[in-house]
Chain A
Amino acid sequence: MINQISVFLENRAGQLADITGTLAENGIDIRALNIAETSDYGVMRIITNDSEKTMEILNGAGFIASETKAAAVAVPDHPGALAEVLKYLAEASMDVEYMYSIFSQLEGRAFMVIKVKDAAAAEKLLSEKGIYIAKQEDLDVR
């Protein structure tokens, strides 16, 4: 499982620049990013090279952030590969709350961050089906 950080965003110009700027100043590398929004606010989810430090920096700068666990799943680079992964989760009645891809690639595989209620259970299920689950080292994150 990997550590994902969610940050509260108010919909106003400059918010994203503020957050990413703060992370940049502190040498934090963003490995994956996803934004969900309504008309008034949003939630930014990021995977960084150092989740603990990222939390410290964001809290210290007055942002509202929380840490959650997500599954990082390797998806082979061919049509239908993602559908297969999702089918396994659906069969096990594991609801995908949201998902997004990770920038880095490894040996021709793409990585998806998949948020389900129980990340550990999802990882166990998918590895039993022969799907590779990324380790923190694979993605150079912690």
Chain B
Amino acid sequence: MKYYQETAECMPREELKKLQDEKLVKQIKHVWEHVPYYRKKMEEAGVTPDDIKGTDDLYRLPFTSKADLRDSYPDGLLAVPKSECVRLHSTSGTTGKRVLVYYTRNDIDLWEDCCARALTAAGADENDVCQVAYGYGLFTGGFGLHGGSQKLGCLTIPMSSGNTDRQLQFMADLGTTILCCTPSYAQYLAESMEEKGAGGDIHLKAGVFGAEAWSEEMRKDLEKRLGIKAFDIYGLTELSGPGVAYECEMQQGMHINEDHFYAETIDPNTLEPLPVGREGELVFTSLDKEAFPIIRYRTRDICELSAEPCACGRTFLKMCRPRGRSDDMLIIRGVNVFPSQVETVLLDAGYTSNYQIVVDRVNNTDTFEVLVEMTPEMFSDSLGRITEMEKDLVVRLKDMLGIQAKVRMVTPKSIVRSEGKAVRVIDKRKY
């Protein structure tokens, strides 16, 4: 089986556009009638449901931000009576109040379809044993993939995360073929497997990894160490959970489930919509959610969409792996720089150290300095070798970002921390 829902996943583009237009009109009517918060925002923007005849009119609608969701805690954006809801999930709330997301039976059904599509695209079918090692609970990772896997007919093992020994034991004893977890946990499992020499009894074939930023290098590393093909999956609790977009066997970007979610990219500064293919902030509008519809939600993820026909046969647009977040994007000498890119460069060079980006403006030119905490593994008695290491990082940063950085090694723990988290960016420029 190649597709889980071929009619939807391979729908001709014109037909898909028509479907999206019809669904959007209904979705907007739904929020106007049932969510006073959205109605008020629309009224303030001078838009009524009559103005929205299809996705071409989407630009007229106001954006929804994370702050809107927090302001509406606990149920201000709920669009159906609670009696119709069957499930609730929530974001982790590390940056403020939790966002609560509600689901009707139908919402769950469509979400699980999305996850089943992702698993099918990763090569899974009813003969597979799927170990779900995402956390179960308020977090959507565990339940999302669990639902998709069960729907697809895989033997589904609800392991949740943690208890590594038991994870490896089950993989070996039950013949797990599909592993679903965060890429960092997959790395941890691979390490433990190598330490215990358990690789021989484990026969994974694919991994569906998401909920975190990861790189192409990490994919190659995981594929080699676990003997699998590793697939990316994208999602946000605010939209439903994992499965908003998923990778196919081409492994060149994630197909967006466009029959359920309408995707746009916008310029994060001017908020103007950008044409497909231009890098910008990803914005999603749900098309058929009942309990928690969401209109033009600003994800803060920076990426680009691609309309290139995909050899897998799916017609859905593809999104690239998010390159960073618009809320921590820096513009240095006119170039967009994300702290995550600097982190990728360090990881690729084999350094797991703490770093800090210091930006300043001297004589009308931006200065860009990267401080890297020295670790025992990096330290060498020879000044020459430390200087070479700095030069190597400068070259790698230039390759990644296109601008020249100054790299400076600093002593451990010298990078300022705030509540235990390293402060990644210090921007001293005055505007």
Contacts and interface: CB of A to CB of B under 8 A. Distances in A.
Interface stretch (B31-39, B218-226, B371-379): B371-379
A43 interface: yes
Given A8-B374, A62-B413, A64-B374, A41 B386 contact: yes
B380 interface: yes
B66 interface: no
A68 interface: yes
Interface in A27-69: 36-38, 40-43, 45, 59, 62-66, 68
B394 to A, nearest CB: 13
A54 to B, nearest CB: 15
Contact of A40 (B375, B376, B379, B409): B409
Contacts of B387: 38
A8 B409 contact: yes
B206 to A, nearest CB: 41
A97 B383 CA distance: 10
Interface in A52-93: 59, 62-66, 68
B2 interface: no
A113 to B, nearest CB: 12
Interface residues of A, number: 22
Which secondary structure dominates chain B's binding surface? loop
Contact of B414 (A10, A66, A115): A10
A66 B382 contact: no
A95 to B, nearest CB: 12
Contacts, number: 48
A3 interface: no
B308 interface: no
Contact of B411 (A45, A64, A97): A64
Interface residues of B, number: 17
Contact of B382 (A41, A65, A97): A97
Contact of B408 (A40, A65, A68, A115): A40
Contacts of B410: 10, 41
Contacts of B408: 40-41
Interface in B377-409: 379-383, 386-387, 408-409
Contacts of A104: none
A74 B376 CA distance: 32
Interface of B: 374-376, 379-383, 386-387, 408-414
Given A8-B411, A43-B386, A64-B375, 16 more contacts: A6-B379, A8-B379, A8-B409, A10-B414, A38-B387, A41-B409, A43-B382, A45-B381, A62-B412, A63-B412, A64-B374, A64-B376, A65-B379, A66-B376, A66-B381, A115-B381
Interface of A: 6, 8-10, 15, 36-38, 40-43, 45, 59, 62-66, 68, 97, 115
19 contacts: A8-B411, A9-B411, A10-B411, A37-B383, A43-B381, A43-B382, A43-B386, A45-B381, A62-B412, A63-B411, A63-B412, A64-B375, A64-B376, A64-B379, A64-B411, A65-B379, A66-B376, A66-B379, A68-B381
